[in-house]
Structure 1
């Protein structure tokens, strides 16, 4: 069982949302298209997932223009980064527990 301070975050148990925040953790204000291509989903799917993450204050979104073309940038918030860090620790704890069970016990 994960330690209480390292419990899984329900919103990040979805692989797509986890991929989005993980990509954002290693980028500063990437464009929407960069995130879309990095995660490998459609515009509408990314928009839906980013909206959910934004409502939870894990990401922030800025809209603007480059020339005459509209652009959207996405950034992970401090809360989002902390949540991702806790979620990853919980996953590591689960994996560690599973690997202990998979390792054959040596006789004394």
Structure 2
């Protein structure tokens, strides 16, 4: 078993780490706020959030507010658990 075998490959990207970190401390975050916090492009945020949604780590809600579309993100319970395990393993590596 390698030193890094316990790390979750889904969180290797800095964008995905950022998305998960933001969502760990916020209930819902809309697309524009997330994009500004992470300073990424629309496409970059969309592709990484879609990948996290496919793994059921986040929920993506698309709705209309008036005539404007709004996309929002929320972490799932499975996402919280997976991210906490990932962070715990990182801490374990640093202590060794």
Q: TM-score, normalised by structure 2?
A: 0.91
Which residue of 2 is the match for residue 21 of structure 1? Answer: 20
Which residue of 2 is the match for residue 85 of structure 1? Answer: 84
Q: Within the alignment, does 1:51 sit opposite 2:44 as a pair? A: no
Measure how far apart 1:79 and its partner are: 0.3
Which residue of 2 is the match for residue 95 of structure 1? Answer: 94
Counterpart-to-counterpart distance in 1, 2:39 and 2:90? 23
Larger-Rg structure: 1
Measure how far apart 1:13 and its partner are: 1.6
Counterpart-to-counterpart distance in 2, 1:40 and 1:92? 26
RMSD of equivalent CA atoms: 1.4
- Unaligned runs of 5+ residues in structure 1 are 98-108
Measure how far apart 1:69 and its partner are: 0.8
What SS does the aligned partner of 2:61 have? strand
Q: TM-score, normalised by structure 1?
A: 0.82
What SS does the aligned partner of 1:60 have? strand
